[in-house]
Amino acid sequence: MTLAPVLARLDADLDAALDRLMALLRIPSISTDPVYQPECDAAADWLVNDLASIGFAAEKRPTPGHPMVVAHGGEGGPHLLFYGHYDVQPVDPLELWDADPFAPAIEDTPKGKVIRGRGTSDDKGQLMTFVEAMRAWVAEHGALPCRITIFLEGEEESGSPSLVPFMKENADELTADLAMICDTTMFDGRVPAITTQLRGLLAEEVILTGPSRDLHSGMYGGLAVNPIHVLGRIVADLHDETGRITLAGFYDDVPELPEAIRAQWDALGFDPARFLGEVGLSAPAGEQGRSPLEKLWSRPTAEVNGIWGGYTGAGFKTVLPSKAAAKISFRLVGEQDPEKIHAAFVKHVEDRLPAGVTAEFPSGHGAGASRMPTGAPAFEAARQALSEEWGMEAAFIGSGGSIPIAGHFQEILGMDSMLIGFGRDDDQIHSPNEKYNLESFHKGMRSWARILAALAE
């Protein structure tokens, strides 16, 4: 089974592949908002039908939340499991989008053609790269090059509450020789990459309650405790003046970066001024005495993702509010244990509660960091295939984002993951005007065809 006709077919069928992607992108499958439950369901149905059309035995599998899509096809060779997610981030603030986020379109930009819309890069555009590679392979050769399981999730953007139970219940079915996860970026617009080091994530929410109802700040101010002030202290005290996180024991399980990896990262020529300049920032923040890539890929962080309390509408309302709240995420590295960090965070909050203020912690779930076995032969074979497609030496890199699934595959199924994606840093995932370069989509499909050929050999 040769590669060349598969690549030729991917080139010839690009427009049809784009039509299919657009159909999937038009489904507003926002998993975190219960209003969009039917749309998440519709996206799963669409994928089941599409995978069945290629010859997969594909099913929508129920969970207490949004359904999983599981599909099996091919035989012989290594058993590869491909993972992606069909759910997308919310679109607010909607007014900052230049067009309807769910009316995707191809745009000409100074950096080339892009596909614009929510989910183009994270993750519908990415997951369709491997689906299209498999479609072309089957069309040319009548069968897949090896045994393949496809596993698509609908809750990745909302904390994946059903994922671990589903994996445990279906461990035999989902265990393969290697997982292929397509939800990451290239190193830059030219250099393809396999992400081999991922930060973990602990998602916290803290809700403070002071007075039992909103009060008039004139009638009560100065005597009644204001929960926003308490929250301000909790947020301010998360970091010390050197940018280090103050939770007790937070750095106990954080390893120093090995010199070999530091040298490799230094050689990548990362330009922090350009990286930050693109988002309007003039200076790096964060932990003092650490290199920019170290901060992004191998150091833990604490970020307040949202804060609210009191009157936030137009004009003024002199309210002393009953409640104030924040959503805070911790990126974890090395052996940091989400449960231990959760306990330290609860203590950080409780140590700062004056009499009359109570705290609730409705979240507090998370996953630790992951590091992949870059010495395994499959990693070198995939790296070689990527290098050939892009005409640039592919890199083993770290990622600041968290893809907890890689940790779950390791812990629950004893399976390593290869993280290969074709996103760009400027894709504006999780932001207005998300896009995916047309080149990422096209060369992404071709990359998977090459990797399939290399691994199935």
By CB under 8 A, the residues from 395 to 434 that bind its own copies are: 399-402, 425, 428-432
- Rounded to 5°, the CA angle 419-424-427 comes to 120
With contact defined as beta carbons under 8 Å apart, do 261 and 297 qualify?
Answer: no
Question: Tokens standing for 349?
Answer: 């909050």
Please report whether residue 353 would count as binding its own copies according to CB under 8 A: no
Q: Please name the residues in contact with 124: beta carbons below 8 A apart, sequence gap of 6 or more.
A: 21, 24, 25, 84, 86, 88
Least Å distance, CB 158 to its own copies, is: 5
Which residue, 92 or 457, is less far from its own copies as judged by CB? Answer: 92
* Amino acid (one-letter) located at 122: D
Residue from 367, 369, 372 nearest 196 by CA: 372
Q: Which residues in the 105-134 window bind its own copies by CB under 8 A?
A: none
d(CA 129, CA 192): 15
Q: Which of 5, 20, 177, 220 binds its own copies (CB under 8 A)?
A: 220
Max Cα separation, the chain? 81
d(CA 5, CA 239): 56
Please report whether residue 376 would count as binding its own copies according to CB under 8 A: no
264: helix, strand or coil:
helix
Least Å distance, CB 165 to its own copies, is: 18
Q: Which of 76, 249, 258, 354 binds its own copies (CB under 8 A)?
A: 354
Which residue, 140 or 427, is less far from its own copies as judged by CB? Answer: 427
Tokens 């070198």 map to which residue?
A: 380
Least Å distance, CB 317 to its own copies, is: 6
Q: Which of 216, 271, 347, 350 binds its own copies (CB under 8 A)?
A: 216
Which residue, 225 or 392, is less far from its own copies as judged by CB? Answer: 225
Burial class for 259, CB neighbours closer than 10 Å (0-12, 13-18, 19+): exposed
Q: Which of 13, 33, 45, 253 binds its own copies (CB under 8 A)?
A: 33
Which residue, 18 or 397, is less far from its own copies as judged by CB? Answer: 397
Size of the site for its own copies (CB under 8 A): 100
Which residue, 217 or 387, is less far from its own copies as judged by CB? Answer: 217
Which residue, 80 or 91, is less far from its own copies as judged by CB? Answer: 91
With contact defined as beta carbons under 8 Å apart, do 427 and 189 qualify?
Answer: no
Compute the half-sphere exposure of residue 220: CA atoms within 13 Å on the CB side of its CA: 16
55: helix, strand or coil:
coil
Please report whether residue 34 would count as binding its own copies according to CB under 8 A: yes
Q: Which residues in the 276-335 window bind its own copies by CB under 8 A?
A: 276, 279-287, 292, 295-296, 299, 301, 303-321, 324, 326-327, 329, 331
Specify the DSSP class assigned to residue 67.
P
Stretch that binds its own copies, among 27-35, 252-260, 409-417, 435-443 (CB under 8 A): 27-35
Site string for its own copies, 67-106 (x = CB under 8 A): ----------------------xx-xx--x----------
d(CA 122, CA 133): 18
Please give the helix or strand (H or E) that residue 369 lies within, else none: none
Site string for its own copies, 230-259 (x = CB under 8 A): -xxxxxxxxx--------------------
Least Å distance, CB 390 to its own copies, is: 21
Question: Tokens standing for 360?
Answer: 């609730």
* Amino acid (one-letter) located at 109: T
Stretch that binds its own copies, among 17-25, 100-108, 229-237, 442-450 (CB under 8 A): 229-237
d(CA 302, CA 292): 16
Measured in residues, the chain has a length of 457
Least Å distance, CB 310 to its own copies, is: 4
Tokens 């035995």 map to which residue?
A: 57
Q: Which residues in the 134-193 window bind its own copies by CB under 8 A?
A: 157-159, 185
Which residue, 258 or 356, is less far from its own copies as judged by CB? Answer: 356
